[in-house]
Structure 1
Amino acid sequence: MDAPAPTSSPTPIDLDTWPRRQHFEHYRRLVPCTYAMTVELDVTAFAAALRRSPRKSYIAQVWALSTVVNRHDEFRMCLTASGEPAVWPVVHPAFTVFNPERETFACVWAAHDPDFGAFHDAAAPLLAEHGRATDFFPQGAPPANAFDVSSLPWTSFTGFNLNIGGNGWDHLAPIFTLGRYTERDGRTLLPLAVQVHHAAADGFHSARLVNELQALVADPSWL
Structure 2
Amino acid sequence: MTEELIDLDTWPRAAQFRFFRGYDRPHYATTTRIDVTHLMARKADGVSPYRGCLYAIGAGLHAVPELKMRFRGDDVVLHEMITLSMTVPTDTGSFGYGYVPFIEGFEAFDAEAKRLIEIVAAGGSLDANSGERDDLAYLSCMPWLDYTAINNALPGPDDCIPRVSWGKFVDHGGRWDMAMTLEVHHALVDGAQVGAYFEAVQESLNAI
TM-score after normalising by structure 1: 0.83
Q: Give the residue type in structure 2 aligned to 1:93.
A: L
Over residues 163-222 of structure 1, what are the superposed CA-to-partner deviations in whole Å (9 max), with x where a residue is unaligned?
A: 4243xx2222211011110122532011111111111101111011112212222x33xx
Give the aligned CA root-mean-square deviation in angstroms. 2.0
Query: What is the deviation of 1:140?
Result: 4.6
Report what 2:38 is aligned to: 45
Report what 1:61 is aligned to: 53
Over residues 36-84 of structure 1, what are the superposed CA-to-partner deviations in whole Å (9 max), with x where a residue is unaligned?
A: 11111011112112x222232111111111112112210001124x531
Contact 2:63 2:200 (8 Å CA) reproduced: no
Query: What is the deviation of 1:105?
Result: 2.4
- Cα distance in 2 for residues equivalent to 1:132 and 1:113: 23
SS of match in other structure, 1:170: coil
Of 59, 84, 88 in structure 2, the residue corresponding to residue 93 of structure 1 is: 84
Report what 1:195 is aligned to: 183
Indicate how the Cα distance of structure 1 residues 77 and 213 shifts in structure 2: closer, same or farther if over 3 A, else same.
same
- Cα distance in 2 for residues equivalent to 1:114 and 1:33: 31
Contact 2:5 2:75 (8 Å CA) reproduced: yes
Residue 119 (1) aligns with residue 136 (2): no
Report what 2:126 is aligned to: 139
Contact 1:38 1:194 (8 Å CA) reproduced: yes
SS of match in other structure, 1:154: coil
Residue 105 (1) aligns with residue 92 (2): no
Indicate how the Cα distance of structure 1 residues 31 and 18 shifts in structure 2: closer, same or farther if over 3 A, else same.
farther
Using the aligned pairs only, state the percent identity: 23
- Cα distance in 2 for residues equivalent to 1:211 and 1:76: 17
Query: What is the deviation of 1:154?
Result: 1.6
Contact 1:93 1:111 (8 Å CA) reproduced: yes
Report what 2:20 is aligned to: 27
SS of match in other structure, 1:70: helix
Report what 1:210 is aligned to: 198
Q: Give the residue type in structure 2 aligned to 1:214.
A: Q
Report what 1:14 is aligned to: 7
SS of match in other structure, 1:38: strand
- Cα distance in 1 for residues equivalent to 2:172 and 2:195: 23
- Cα distance in 2 for residues equivalent to 1:192 and 1:178: 4
Counting matched residue pairs gives: 205
Of 165, 175, 188 in structure 1, the residue corresponding to residue 163 of structure 2 is: 175
- Cα distance in 2 for residues equivalent to 1:160 and 1:180: 13
Contact 1:32 1:199 (8 Å CA) reproduced: no
Query: What is the deviation of 1:99?
Result: 3.4
- Cα distance in 1 for residues equivalent to 2:198 and 2:174: 22
- Cα distance in 1 for residues equivalent to 2:89 and 2:142: 10
- Cα distance in 1 for residues equivalent to 2:166 and 2:122: 21
- Cα distance in 1 for residues equivalent to 2:50 and 2:121: 14
SS of match in other structure, 2:104: coil
